[in-house]
């Protein structure tokens, strides 16, 4: 499919690379940086402490052989690649991070953090595996407070309720804009391709000037709304509308979206950590205890590390309905057991609402592109 990426979107696709210089400038001015790995990390706390945050999950296979000198080969590529970038010092964002924050999510990640802790200043939050019971909620609240104390002692700052309230409002504003941007793809046809939407969602995390980021998002939303209002999208109305679900996406795994869109589909929404999962949980504003509000909103995220993981299934069905999807395609990463086990449940749900479902497993190589093209092409033909 011919992409219609207007100039304004270029800055999102290049954001990761261009962000290196921006972050160096921030560091030179004394700004502290927290590197994060997961959507459960409460970003508002760092913002309230005057820190910048950056996502460290890696999306390329470049350093996997280095990682495999320490970690087993049969491990999810995201974990191996992220650790590989840390030990080879090849990721400037890892290098710039004054504190790296992880959570006890999947087994692979939490064990990898033990090794990461040998080379980086690392803090691991104890994430409960259930979102409903009182003990889990209280544990997560206490972990939010423990993170606050760690930030305060490492960086000699105080995070007041007022600081946090302001950060909650800032981050909610960003969420509202991102949601507004991807919801323009509810239109028939959507104003942009799924690949373009992914680049915006992925690229936003590498923009470190908050004011500029908000302006750019407002600008983008306006352009997309105009494309919809003037019926000037160049996407065919016949394209099959796809909701993506599964493991986080970006970098080399964009290959899945690319294949879908080369084969006559159009990705309209992402039920994963690159997309709606990190955006749809707004933190309640103006509460008595903003730390409690942060803990409640973040514990609401649906991920396969939770048991049960009903919130994932609710969001998935919601996106299917809201975006009037024709099918769901799931991407799991090799050796990601929690998502792979949930595949069957996702299939059952799709069957129950009469939505065709395809699951594909991949890694960070490009060697499976031909095989993926055949499978995805055949699937799109029958829906």
Q: How far is CA 337 from the centre of its chain?
A: 19
Residue 78 as a binder of ligand SF4 (CB under 6 A): the answer is yes
Among 33, 43, 247, 360, binds ligand SF4 (CB under 6 A): 247
3-state SS, residue 234? coil
Among 9, 40, 93, 298, binds ligand SF4 (CB under 6 A): 40
Residue 359 as a binder of ligand SF4 (CB under 6 A): the answer is no
Q: Tell me if the bond preceding 237 is cis, omega within 30° of 0.
A: no
Q: Which residues have a Cβ under 8 Å from the Cβ of 88 and sit 6 or more positions away? A: 63, 66
Are the C-beta atoms of 67 and 81 separated by less than 8 Å?
yes
101/104 Cα distance (integer angstroms): 10
Residue 198 as a binder of ligand SF4 (CB under 6 A): the answer is no
Per-residue tokens: 39: 């959507």
Q: Name the one residue in this structure whose structure tokens are 């690392």.
A: 122
Q: How far is the CB of 240 from ligand SF4 (least distance, A)?
A: 25
Among 86, 106, 329, 346, binds ligand SF4 (CB under 6 A): 106
Residue 244 as a binder of ligand SF4 (CB under 6 A): the answer is no
Among 16, 32, 109, 199, binds ligand SF4 (CB under 6 A): 109
Q: Tell me if the bond preceding 358 is cis, omega within 30° of 0.
A: no
Q: How far is the CB of 124 from ligand SF4 (least distance, A)?
A: 13
Are the C-beta atoms of 47 and 216 separated by less than 8 Å?
no
Residue 336 as a binder of ligand SF4 (CB under 6 A): the answer is yes
Give me the residues paired with residue 105 across strands: none
Residues in 48-77 that interact with ligand SF4 by CB under 6 A: 76
Q: How far is the CB of 271 from ligand SF4 (least distance, A)?
A: 11
Are the C-beta atoms of 192 and 228 separated by less than 8 Å?
no
| Residues at the interface with ligand SF4 (CB under 6 A) | 38-40, 76, 78-79, 105-106, 108-109, 247-248, 273, 301, 303, 305, 333, 336, 338-339
């Amino acid at each position: 499919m011919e992409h219609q990426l207007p100039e304004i979107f270029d800055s999102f696709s290049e954001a990761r690379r261009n962000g290196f210089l921006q972050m160096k400038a921030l560091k030179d001015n004394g700004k502290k940086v927290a590197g994060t790995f997961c959507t459960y990390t409460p970003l508002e706390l760092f913002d309230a402490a005057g820190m910048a945050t950056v996502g460290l999950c890696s999306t390329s296979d470049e350093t996997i052989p280095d990682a495999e000198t320490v970690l087993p080969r049969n491990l999810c590529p995201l974990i191996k690649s992220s650790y590989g970038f840390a030990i080879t010092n090849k990721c400037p964002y890892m290098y710039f991070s004054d504190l790296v924050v992880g959570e006890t999510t999947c087994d692979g990640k939490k064990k990898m953090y033990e090794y990461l802790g040998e080379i980086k200043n690392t803090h691991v939050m104890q994430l409960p595996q259930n979102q409903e019971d009182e003990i889990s909620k209280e544990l997560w609240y206490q972990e939010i407070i423990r993170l606050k104390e760690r930030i305060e002692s490492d960086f000699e700052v105080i995070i007041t309720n007022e600081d946090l309230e302001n950060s909650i409002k800032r981050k909610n504003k960003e969420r509202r804009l991102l949601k507004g941007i991807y919801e323009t793809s509810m239109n028939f046809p959507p104003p942009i391709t799924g690949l373009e939407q992914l680049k915006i969602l992925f690229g936003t995390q590498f923009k470190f000037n908050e004011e500029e980021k908000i302006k750019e998002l407002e600008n983008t939303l306006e352009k997309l709304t105009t494309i919809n209002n003037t019926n000037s999208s160049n996407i065919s109305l016949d394209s099959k509308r796809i909701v993506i679900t599964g493991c986080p996406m970006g970098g080399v795994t964009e290959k899945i979206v690319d294949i879908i869109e080369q084969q006559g589909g159009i990705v309209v929404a992402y039920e994963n950590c690159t997309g709606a999962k990190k955006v749809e949980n707004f933190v309640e504003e103006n509460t008595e205890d903003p730390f409690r509000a942060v803990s409640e909103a973040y514990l609401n995220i649906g991920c396969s590390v939770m048991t049960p993981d009903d919130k994932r299934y609710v969001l998935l069905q919601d996106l299917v309905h809201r975006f009037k999807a024709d099918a769901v395609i799931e991407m799991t990463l090799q050796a990601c057991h929690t998502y792979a086990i949930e595949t069957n449940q996702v299939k059952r749900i799709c069957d129950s609402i009469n939505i065709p479902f395809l699951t594909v497993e991949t890694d960070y190589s490009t060697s499976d592109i031909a095989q993926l093209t055949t499978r995805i092409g055949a699937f799109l033909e029958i829906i």
